[in-house]
């Protein structure tokens, strides 16, 4: 037989694209269209309905950036269309090949009822099937003209990322608004051809099935009357029916399709636009559920549901109905799909708590899995926290973006730092916007790593980010691929069903231990530093407000615990931990609003804490310690005078002038407090840090060396830092001044100022306090660089085989060598409040109050000694998608802690991030809880969310070893229970045998424990 593949494939392609596809709509009549441009921000339907409209002509430009145009569309179905399927077809002038953020619209009836959205790949609104003819159609269409920030492929900065800079030139040209007849036979023929063509070209040339399909397509083209596509479509489908009916091989891979619409809660659009995106997509989804009984849609992010509930009650009611029918599956159990590295431990717990509670309360559904396809790496604390929230599985996708190493598994057990394992899947289709194309189906099978162990994978399908979600075309593809030879078998089902089947067939799946590190997007640990600082401050202020509100609720008559305010503030902070806000990868508008929100949150939380402390009664200045560790340190009082205070963990003490063992000496460029001696060189770096307790020099080079690197990644500017950044840099070694600025016996300080680059300045105050070996670097930067990153390095004379970085409820160890490509790929990593390096008998910690990115490297010197260098990433200057990212003022503190073990790092990490508070108060009561025993750390103290008055305490083991201790309460204790994160009882806690009602605690390494403490009769 002659090889005619090229002729046949080209024939099918042309006939399909040029003749069949244009014939899907058999007849059309245009709508009569009028328009009204809403001024400023979006308006209500009622305001739009009452607005003055003017005639609008097709092919007319419309829509300034971030604007809203309302269109009134009127039409009448022709009488001759009776018995046919009639739809409205609307093309707002869609651009590019990404169906996400651009022109989008929500179609309403004239009474305000939302019907369905219009998106680039979902342009129809069903009107009648069948039509009676003569129907009048009257719509009000809310159209958003969002700029396509991706239009230039991130090649250059754009002003479009903020309404303040985007201008007002219309972005889109309205192409079509018609009533049309859908020719269902032609439409189905179009889908038959697409599925078979794509299957054919992805089968091997040696496969008989490929040739069988090819010749069937050739015969089908012979059966098609090019002059009567509609009339011959049924006959053509009959020719194709036999090849579409051939069943899949018995061993064919099974793909569980799950409808999905990944909607970033903010990214290349502001939060206000996400509220509308959700309404549009969810309208589409509920409409599709009415058309397809076998359709199932999985949707995460309780925050987005709440927006729809509050702003689109009609859509909310339809969602509730779809959930009852089993077609809508709430998943994820988190408030938003948060970043996987940067939120604190308690914040991730609250993400799970608030998300799961929302779905239980509003749908009676307890979600079983964590759904996080798009976050930029995942903390090793997740398995334990997920399980403690009642989850059974974990789903992610983003690791497929790895730059260097291919992740070895798709179905596996993920083991966290405490030993907890959770069943995890990583879809081999490598997308969370699948459409069941031939290329995707082929990739899913080829890519699947568990062949021979498992036989199934999951594929989330649908267009995200304003693309409209799943479509009827995708559902039709799924139906054709349900049992088709040459293809994996596709079944649309709930993700819980997939995970149950996958776990049943592969219970002994391989184990991955530790963090899921994404070998890409490493700059998200640093970009938009003010957003990250706002998050860090908010997390610690929330901790503080909850602790002192609990104290006041227990001991202050008339005080009411602020349940509603704390709930609302937590949700605000959780929203801004979304995986494009907190990582710093959103447009300028998003980060401008985030900074304002953090300022508002801080102001309100400060007020709540002040109210709680004031409720305890006035009596004189006292010092309040929110940290879980006892404190003895120097603080500055209200008038700036240093004072040395000693305060118990989670408690308070009078403001007195206690005496430290030895005063601080500050002369020339030397600071000495009897514990450490710090020498500052003429160039402003540290020439020596001598640990007087251990009689050893800490540094092996210039300490606090500020290095300015060129930072232009290959593609994703705000997201990425590529390894070549290390090759070009300037050391900041020419200070404007170096001067002693404090010689107080309690506090010595040297100030170093520098000017550099394009008008940037940095002022650092190097501070040593009496009684503490910690050296603080109070930093004030006025930053005006572009495509640069500033690092602060500490070369330490330690041979450290690994570094330890704090993560949520513990820490991870990472090798300091680069033996393998996996280790080499970790050239930039994330940590929370501290990084520790050590050798037997000695360690050093680098502590921070708001930075996350860092690198640790190791070299051997000519004298045979080893230098381990820790470098903090202080600030970046990406220009895409926000051209002004990080420009301006930054204030933060980082510290060097010589002679530190892990326990010291934990304590000082809390101390730096939870400054002591001085307030006027009477003799405060005992701490709500106190802990006897090393290694057990109190993370949260609050009243139970059910408003029962029970006290909830969250503890964890913080050193990485076993811990035993006794939790004592500052109130009468009637009973205690161990609970899950949602404060539901798991078991009774062991009361200590000494009769005082304390709770005995035994923890495995990094175990998280939540205790619910019932108050005795004399407690309030």
Residues marked active site are found at: 374
Q: How far apart are CA 766 and CA 760, in angstroms?
A: 20
* Degrees, nearest 5: CA angle 812-813-815: 145
Burial (CB count within 10 angstroms: exposed 0-12, middle 13-18, buried 19+), residue 453:
middle
Contacts of 524 (CB under 8 A, 6+ apart): 339, 341, 342, 376, 583, 584, 585, 718, 719
Alpha carbon dihedral 143, 174, 24, 280, in 10-degree steps, equals -10
Q: Are 39 and 67 in contact (CB under 8 A)?
A: no
- Cα 660 to the center of its chain, rounded Å: 45
Q: Which two tokens stand for residue 55?
A: 């005639």
Residue 978 CB partners (closer than 8 Å, separation 6+):
985, 986, 987, 988, 989, 1009, 1010, 1011, 1012
Residue from 390, 462, 452, 402 nearest 426 by CA:
402
For residue 370, what are the CA distances in angstroms to 331, 353, 979? 7, 12, 20
CB 88 within 8 A of CB 125: yes
How far is residue 729's CA from residue 299's CA, in Å, rounded to a whole number? 45
Angle at 104 between CA 98 and CA 105, to 5 degrees: 155
Residue 512 CB contacts under 8 Å (≥ 6 apart), including other chains: 409, 412, 413, 414, 415, 424
Q: What is the chain's Cα-based Rg? A: 31
Residue 29 C-alpha from the chain's centroid = 46
What's the residue count for the chain?
1020
The residues, ordered by sequence, that sit 6+ positions from 424 with a Cβ below 8 Å of its Cβ are 393, 394, 395, 396, 411, 412, 413, 414, 512
CA dist 64 and 103 (Å) reads: 11
CA distances in angstroms from 465 to 67, 325, 433, 661, listed in the order given:
18, 26, 10, 60
- Which is nearest to 429 in space by CA: 405, 462, 469, 453? 462
Assess whether the previous peptide bond of 603 is cis (omega < 30° from 0). no
Dump the DSSP string for 468-510.
Answer: -B--HHHHHHHHHTTT-TTS-EEEE--HHHHHHHHHHH-TT--
Q: Which residues of 475-498 are buried (b: 16+ CB within 10 A; e: fewer)?
A: bbbbbbbbebbbbbbbbbbbbbeb
Question: In sequence order, which residues have a C-beta less than 8 Å from that of residue 995 and are 6 or more positions away?
Answer: none
> What is the pairing mode between strands 456-461 and 254-259?
parallel
Q: In whole angstroms, what separates CA 980 from the centre of its chain?
A: 23
């Amino acid at each position: 037989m002659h090889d005619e593949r090229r002729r046949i494939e080209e024939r099918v392609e042309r006939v399909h694209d040029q003749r069949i596809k244009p014939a899907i709509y058999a007849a059309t009549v245009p709508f009569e269209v009028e328009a009204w441009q809403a001024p400023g921000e979006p308006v209500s339907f009622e305001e739009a309905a009452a607005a003055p409209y003017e005639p609008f002509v097709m092919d007319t430009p419309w829509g300034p950036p971030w604007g809203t145009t309302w269109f009134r569309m009127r039409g009448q179905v022709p009488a001759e269309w009776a018995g046919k399927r009639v739809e409205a077809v609307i093309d707002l002038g869609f651009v590019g090949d990404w169906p996400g953020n651009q022109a989008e619209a929500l179609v309403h009836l004239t009474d305000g009822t939302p019907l369905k959205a219009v998106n680039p790949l979902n342009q129809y609104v069903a009107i009648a099937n069948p039509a009676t003819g003569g129907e009048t159609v009257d719509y009000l269409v809310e159209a958003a003209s969002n700029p396509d920030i991706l239009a230039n492929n991130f090649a250059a900065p754009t002003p479009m990322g903020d309404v303040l800079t985007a201008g007002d030139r219309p972005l889109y040209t309205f192409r079509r608004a018609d009533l049309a007849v859908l020719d269902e036979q032609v439409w189905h023929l179009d889908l038959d051809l697409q599925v078979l063509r794509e299957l054919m070209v992805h089968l091997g040339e040696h496969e008989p099935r490929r040739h069988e399909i090819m010749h069937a397509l050739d015969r089908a083209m012979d059966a098609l009357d090019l002059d009567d596509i509609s009339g011959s479509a049924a006959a053509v489908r009959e020719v194709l029916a036999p090849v579409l009916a051939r069943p899949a091989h018995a061993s064919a891979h099974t793909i569980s399709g799950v409808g999905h619409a990944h909607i970033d809660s903010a990214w290349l659009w502001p939060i206000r636009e996400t509220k509308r995106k959700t309404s549009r997509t969810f309208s589409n989804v509920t409409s599709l559920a009415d058309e397809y009984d076998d359709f199932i849609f999985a949707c995460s992010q309780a925050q987005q549901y709440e927006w729809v509930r509050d702003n689109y009650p009609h859509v909310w009611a339809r969602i509730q109905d779809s959930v009852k029918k089993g077609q809508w599956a709430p998943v994820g159990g988190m408030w938003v799909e948060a970043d996987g590295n940067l939120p604190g431990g308690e914040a991730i717990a609250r993400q799970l708590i608030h998300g799961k509670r929302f779905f239980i309360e509003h749908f009676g559904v307890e979600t079983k899995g964590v759904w996080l396809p798009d976050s930029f790496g995942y903390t090793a604390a997740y398995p334990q926290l997920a399980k403690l929230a009642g989850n059974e599985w974990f789903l992610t996708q983003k690791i497929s973006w790895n730059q260097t190493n291919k992740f070895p598994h798709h179905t596996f057990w993920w083991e966290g730092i405490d030993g907890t394992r959770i069943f995890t899947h990583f879809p081999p289709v490598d997308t969370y916007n699948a459409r069941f194309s031939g290329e995707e189906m082929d990739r899913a099978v080829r890519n699947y790593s568990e062949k021979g162990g498992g036989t199934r994978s999951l594929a989330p399908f649908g267009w995200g980010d304003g693309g409209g979600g799943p479509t009827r075309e995708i559902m039709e593809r799924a139906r054709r691929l349900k049992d088709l030879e040459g293809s994996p078998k596709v079944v649309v089902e709930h993700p819980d069903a997939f995970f149950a089947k996958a776990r049943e067939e592969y219970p002994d799946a391989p184990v991955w231990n530790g963090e899921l590190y994404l070998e890409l997007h490493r700059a998200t640990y640093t970009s938009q530093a003010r957003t990250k600082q706002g998050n860090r401050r908010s997390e610690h202020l929330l901790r503080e407000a909850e602790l002192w509100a609990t104290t006041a609720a227990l001991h202050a008559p008339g005080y009411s615990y602020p349940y509603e305010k704390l709930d609302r503030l937590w949700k605000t902070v959780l929203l801004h931990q979304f995986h494009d806000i907190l990582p710093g990868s959103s447009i300028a508008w998003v980060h401008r609003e985030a900074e304002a929100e953090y300022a508002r949150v801080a102001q309100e939380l400060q007020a709540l804490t002040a109210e709680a402390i004031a409720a305890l009664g006035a009596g004189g200045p006292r010092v309040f310690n929110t940290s879980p560790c006892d404190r003895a340190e120097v603080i500055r009082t209200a008038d700036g005078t240093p004072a040395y205070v000693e305060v118990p963990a989670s408690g308070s003490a009078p403001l007195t002038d206690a005496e430290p063992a030895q005063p601080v000496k500050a002369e020339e460029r030397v600071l000495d407090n009897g514990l450490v001696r710090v020498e500052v060189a003429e160039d402003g770096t540290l020439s020596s840090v001598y640990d007087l307790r251990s009689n050893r020099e800490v540094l092996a080079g210039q300490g606090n060396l500020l290095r300015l690197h060129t930072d232009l990644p290959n593609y994703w500017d705000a997201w990425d830092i590529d390894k070549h950044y290390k090759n070009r840099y300037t050391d900041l070694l020419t200070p404007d001044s170096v001067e002693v600025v404090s010689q107080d016996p309690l506090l010595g300080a040297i100030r170093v100022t520098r000017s550099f680059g394009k008008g940037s300045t940095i002022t650092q105050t190097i501070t040593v306090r009496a009684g503490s070996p910690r050296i603080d670097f109070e930093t004030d930067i006025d930053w005006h660089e572009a495509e640069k990153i500033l690092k602060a390095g500490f070369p330490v004379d330690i041979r450290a085989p690994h570094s330890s970085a704090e993560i949520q409820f513990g820490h991870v160890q990472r090798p300091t060598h680069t033996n393998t490509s996996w280790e080499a790929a970790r050239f930039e990593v994330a940590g929370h409040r501290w990084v520790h390096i050590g050798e037997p008998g000695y360690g050093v910690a680098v502590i921070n109050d708001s930075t996350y990115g860092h690198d640790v490297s190791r070299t051997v010197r000519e004298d045979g000694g080893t230098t381990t260098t820790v470098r903090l990433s202080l600030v970046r200057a990406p220009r895409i998608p926000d051209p002004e990212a990080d420009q301006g003022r930054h204030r933060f503190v980082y510290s060097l802690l010589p002679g530190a073990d892990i326990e010291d790092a934990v304590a000082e990490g809390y101390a730096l991030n939870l400054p002591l508070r001085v307030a006027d108060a009477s003799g405060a009561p005992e701490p709500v809880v106190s802990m006897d025993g090393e290694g057990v750390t109190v993370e949260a103290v609050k009243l139970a969310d059910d408003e029962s008055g029970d006290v909830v305490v969250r503890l964890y083991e913080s050193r990485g070893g076993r811990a035993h201790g006794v939790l004592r309460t500052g109130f009468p204790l009637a009973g205690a229970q161990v609970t899950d994160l949602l404060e539901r009882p798991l078991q009774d806690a062991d009361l200590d045998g000494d009769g005082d009602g304390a709770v005995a605690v035994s923890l495995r390494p990094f175990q998280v424990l939540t205790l619910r403490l019932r108050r005795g009769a004399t407690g309030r």
